Structure 1
């Protein structure tokens, strides 16, 4: 479950990267157009994890801050507090209840996971995913399907209401879905550098990966 949370947070960060105009389809070009103005992003979120039959496994809520390239802070407030922070080089997952911090490198090679989408490149987008677009009213939904099978998800859906990125849905190979909706969105707010710095609390267990 922790791995899913890290990947989801990274996914959002990497989709906030500039995408070039050389996208090879109208859908990818439109997605690039919507993502290009986003440098910083702040929002509240609500996340649901559903099994393959649509039964709810978990609900969480919290707040997130993003700044490209590769920096984010993802705070889960309920039902259990967790903090995920990336400073652009390392990712820190802090679980206060377990008094544990996991540290791993921010892997910029993860184009086959949701992670790289939010701060990766347009070339990575079109080389690694098939992109399609559907519109209903003011809502536009983009579906990204990996071109290779060695991925941690089967599809990723991004929904914009007008020009605002407000929902994400990820489905893995077992049919499990992670759905995230955003509200109280602030586009390109001024964010302090300290927001993306994590100070390891005294007395906690530290697990270093990679």
Structure 2
């Protein structure tokens, strides 16, 4: 997990399952959706939602389910992002873990292992769910098929990667009005994860030091691709 699937497979505290999955499929939540809106219109709608999102801060609750729907683990933590390219993701329990992107490098700190993994921000990293939110919205149409659905007051955008190199098979973003409230993902093993955000603050000022990671003393440092 630490050496090969550096960023997205590690952002969670899901040590027993060794994957980073950011959400549940809609069927797992029992949602009844209206007909989907595809292609250009869906991409345009999603762009309208993401373009104004300059910064985002929230706490989160995460549920990980296997392909049969059995709950494997729950976790909670806190997230900060600032576009372009800045991210801090802290899992507080059940296993502490911190991921920080300063726009050039991504740092994964595992205090239990006393280890920091460092990877440059490349295409593989930027296609992970959390980094996608902090990245360039204009790249969405080139990288994903997008469709759009409505359920009551919510809008659900589902992204299907065009490349086989991505770390998820389907990613969905749920908005209530202009606020991102949930992030869902299904990976290639069929494992599904749902992340629900709360205490959300969009476009508030975030101290830039939040996105600076100082490597602790006396830890192992692994530099990927270097």
Normalised-by-shorter TM-score class? 0.7 to 0.9
CA distance in 2, matches of 1:112, 1:72: 14
Aligned partner of 1:195 among 204, 210, 213: 210
> How far apart are the structure 1 equivalents of 2:90 and 2:54?
20
Could you say what the CA RMSD is over the residues aligned between the two structures, in angstroms?
2.4
Out of 67, 80, 83, which is 1:52 matched to? 67
| 67 and 116 in structure 1: CA distance in 2 versus 1, 3 angstrom threshold | closer
Q: TM-score, normalised by structure 1?
A: 0.85
The partner residue of 1:164 within 167, 170, 179 is: 179
Are residues 1:25 and 2:40 paired?
yes
**SS of residue in 1 equivalent to 2:100:** strand
- Cα pair distance change 1:113/1:77, threshold 3 Å: closer
Q: TM-score, normalised by structure 2?
A: 0.80
Larger deviation, residues 120-129 vs 70-79: 120-129
DSSP 3-state at the match of 2:168: coil
Q: 3-state SS of the aligned residue for 1:25?
A: helix
Secondary structure of residue in 2 paired with 1:118 = helix
Counting only pairs closer than 5 Å after superposition, residues 8-157 of structure 1 correspond to structure 2 as 25-108=40-123, 113-114=128-129, 117-157=132-172
Counterpart CA distance in 1 for 2:191 and 2:155 is 23
Partner residue in 2 for 1:182 = 197
Structure-1 separation of matches of 2:66 and 2:88: 26
Q: Please, which runs of 5 or more residues in structure 1 have no aligned partner?
A: 12-22
Instruction: Report how far residue 176 of structure 1 moved.
Output: 0.8
User: In structure 2, do the counterparts of structure 1 residues 109 and 50 end up closer, same or farther at CA, with 3 Å as the change threshold?
Assistant: closer
Q: 1:121 Cα deviation (Å)?
A: 3.3
Consecutive unaligned residues of structure 2, counting only runs of 5 or more, are 13-18, 23-37
Identify which range, 149-158 or 38-47, moves more after superposition: 149-158
Deviations 1:169-193 (A, max 9, x none): 1111221112111000001111111
By how many angstroms is 1:24 displaced? 5.7
Aligned: 1:204 with 2:219: yes
Q: Structure 1 residues 70, 27: closer, same or farther in 2, change over 3 A?
A: same
Report deviation, 1:71.
Answer: 0.6
SS at match of 2:141: helix
Residues 111/191 of structure 1: CA separation in 2 closer, same or farther (3 Å cut): closer
The 3 A distance-change label for structure 1 pair 41 and 81 is: same
